[in-house]
Each structure stands twice: as structure tokens, then as C-alpha cells.
Amino acid sequence: MTDTPLLHVDMDAFYASVALRERPDLVDQPVVVGGNGRGVVLAANYVARRYGLRSALPMTRARRLCPHVVVLAPDYSTFMSVSASVMETFRDVTPVVEAMSLDEAFLDVRGATRRLGTPTEIAERLRATIHDEQGITCSVGVAASVSVAKVASRRAKPDGVVVVPPAEVASFLHPLDVGELYGVGEKTQALLHRFGLLTVGDVAHTPLQTLQRDLGDHLGRHLRHLAWGTDRRDLSPTVGPHEPERSMGADETFARDTDDRDVIVRELLRLTARVTGRMRAAGVAGRTVTLKVRFSDFTTITRSRTRSEATDVTVEVHRAVTHLYDALGLRRVRVRLVGVRVEGLVPRATVHRQLVLGEPEHGWAEADRAVDRATRRFGAAAVRPASLW
């Protein structure tokens, strides 16, 4: 009875559904959650989807497609608290819960069937609980593998359950377009279509060597597994000891494109402070500092530099990204977005700084810690580098 032990639970139009709890008067109208400027749609309710609105659509296009759409601003603190409650509901069923984002998770229910019934019964019970306690609906895919459960939950939307027993994996997957597979995006879909591989079944019946020749060893093998639903990986529970982040970063699109170096360097300082603050809160430091620049034509470049010692010091990271920016030698080039990312993160306790004789650097780490303390006491707005005033 546990040949389909994996559940993929996905909230339906999560941000929109949560936002509409406060505005029941709007449930029959097209509603999206998103910012107002140069942003994209974060979530669209099912009424809005009838107009072609969906997540990631630019807000400007959304308004053109549906001029009377109601736009609600995201309220992340509410989203996070609803998400935390939902995840707790999952953990009442099994400790093996891998959260993929605020609104979806994989559950391995092998250890719960004796107590709670079949995976399908567990799925229905979860859906009822979440509906009663949170006032939102969700959809569940039930299968033996992560990728099949994921595809199944998408097919179950909205407000449904799709179960795919092992014997039915091929008949379930093979008629679908290749783009439905978890991990096949726009580019890979177009590539496969160009090779005449339109359905998952087409991929499934293509020799492995052919797939690997056309798509590379790794992607070829991966696609074959996806097409037969034979991917096997254990979930890694999100709570408790788990893998630390590999990188942390922040980027932001300017309200208007700019070529003003002062504006850009100040923005890099804001972003750096945000990232290093999070790093210190997480107790990590990193060696590789990456600058991201997106130009007004949307082309995007990155430049990175790996240091000999890991750091979490705001001034050091900011100096590194400023160097990288200046090395680009831009002159009157309009910049749309800049970003800062620190990679190669390791626990701070494992970093042994070699203090160079006469180095005027210590003091900055102390200053950061003072800033962190003040931020905790008075809030982020209270403390910021002088150049940001």
C-alpha cells in the first residue's frame, strides 16, 4: 500500500489565495499579487488566469491583458506565517518534509501509513486540514518519485489530488508535452521540439546515446529518468540538521536605469550590507564575491573574484564588488540592475583569519557586529552606512 509514498503538496495560487482571505469581496474578480513598478505578477487567482494572467508575467502586460485586474501588494510576513502553519501540519504527518518554497513541499509518508491510512487518504486529510485552518486550497500529487509527484500535483490543480501508481507512470507521463517535465524549461523544450521530440513518450523511446549526443551526458541521462519516472532520491528534511546555504545574494532593479557611478556604488553598498548581515546572522563567511550587472537591453553579465580568505565583513565585500564594477570600465552605459552574491560559504567558526601585520582591517568586523546589535534593537532603518544617508 506504500508503492506511492511521496506526496507533493502545492498551495493553489498561494499569495493570491492568502491575500484574498482579507478581501472576500474580491474572490470573483481577477486578482493578482505583485508590485506596482517594473515588477512581475507573483500570483494570479483563477479568475485572472482566464485572462491569460499568470506568475512571472510583467505587470505592464498584465494590466494590458486585463485592465480591470485588482492588484494587491504582497505581504510577506503573512505569507511566511501561513507557510509555517502549513509546514507544521505536514510535520504532524511525517518528519520527512522537504520544503521547496513557502508554498510547496514533498512529504515521504512511508512511516505514517500504519497510523493514518494510505497515501491518498493522507493527502485528502491534509487538504481538509489546510482548508479548515488556513482557508486556502491546495493540490497534491502522489507517486513513487519526486518528479512524478511534482507533475501529478500540477495536473491536480486546482484543489485536487492525482495519484500515479508505478504501473501507470508510463501511461500518465508519455502523452504529456516534454515541457511538462520537472526540470524541462522553455529552452530545453524548444530544443527537444526542434529534434522532433514533442511528447514525453518521444523522449522515452529515444536511444540514450542520441539524447546524450544532442543534449550532453548529464541532461540526456536526466531526461531519460524523467521520461520513465525512474528518478530516485531521498528527501532531505528541511527542519533539523541540514545542508547550509551555498551562497547568499541580493539584487535590485532600479526604478529607472542609471549610468551614475555614485548611485550604483551606493546601491552596491546597500545590497552588500543586506547580504553580509544575513551571513553574520547565519554564522557563515564566503570566499567568492560576484557582481551582477544587467543593462537596459536586459543583457546580464557577472564578474567574480575569489579571495584567499573567507569574509563576512561588509566593507571588504563592498570593496571587492566596487573593484569588479570599476574594472568593467563602463562609460555612459545604462544599468538596469545590480546584484551582489557571496559564494563558497563555510561556517564562520572554521575561518581563521591571517592578520597581516599592520593591516588596518580589524575594526571593520567589530563595526559590523555593532551594527548588527543596533539593528536587532532598533530595526534595520535605524542603522546604515553614512553614505546612504
Q: Which is nearer to DNA, 118 or 384 (CB)?
A: 384
Cα separation of 64 and 77, whole Å?
Answer: 30
Is the distance from CB of 288 to CB of 304 less than 8 angstroms?
A: yes
Q: Which is nearer to DNA, 58 or 363 (CB)?
A: 58
Q: Which is nearer to DNA, 60 or 115 (CB)?
A: 60
Note whether 253 binds DNA by CB under 7 A.
Answer: yes
Residue 96, CB-side half-sphere exposure with 13 Å CA sphere: 14
- Check residue 267 and give left, alpha or beta (phi > 0: left; psi -120 to 50: alpha): alpha
One-letter amino acid for residue 303 of the chain: R
Is the distance from CB of 229 to CB of 169 less than 8 angstroms?
A: yes
- Choosing from 3, 121, 252, 309, the residue that interacts with DNA (CB under 7 A) is 252
- Choosing from 162, 341, 368, 371, the residue that interacts with DNA (CB under 7 A) is 341
User: Least distance in Å: CB of 106 to DNA?
Assistant: 11
- Choosing from 210, 230, 306, 387, the residue that interacts with DNA (CB under 7 A) is 306
Q: Where are the alpha helices (DSSP H) in 283-355?
A: 314-327
Note whether 319 binds DNA by CB under 7 A.
Answer: no
User: Least distance in Å: CB of 196 to DNA?
Assistant: 17
Q: Name which of residues 211 to 240 contact DNA (CB under 7 A).
A: 216-219
Q: Which of the 8 DSSP states describes residue 356?
A: P
Note whether 210 binds DNA by CB under 7 A.
Answer: no
Note whether 42 binds DNA by CB under 7 A.
Answer: yes
DSSP 36-65: SSS-BEEEE-HHHHTTT--TT-BHHHHHHH
104 flagged as catalytic: yes
Q: Which three cell numbers stand for residue 84?
A: 509555517
**In this structure, are strands 138-143 and 6-11 parallel, antiparallel, or unpaired?**
antiparallel
Note whether 335 binds DNA by CB under 7 A.
Answer: no
Note whether 326 binds DNA by CB under 7 A.
Answer: no
Cite the active site residues.
Answer: 104
Contact residues for DNA (CB under 7 A)? 35, 37-40, 42, 55-56, 58-61, 100-104, 150, 181-189, 216-219, 245-253, 274, 278, 287-288, 297-298, 300-306, 336-337, 339, 341, 344
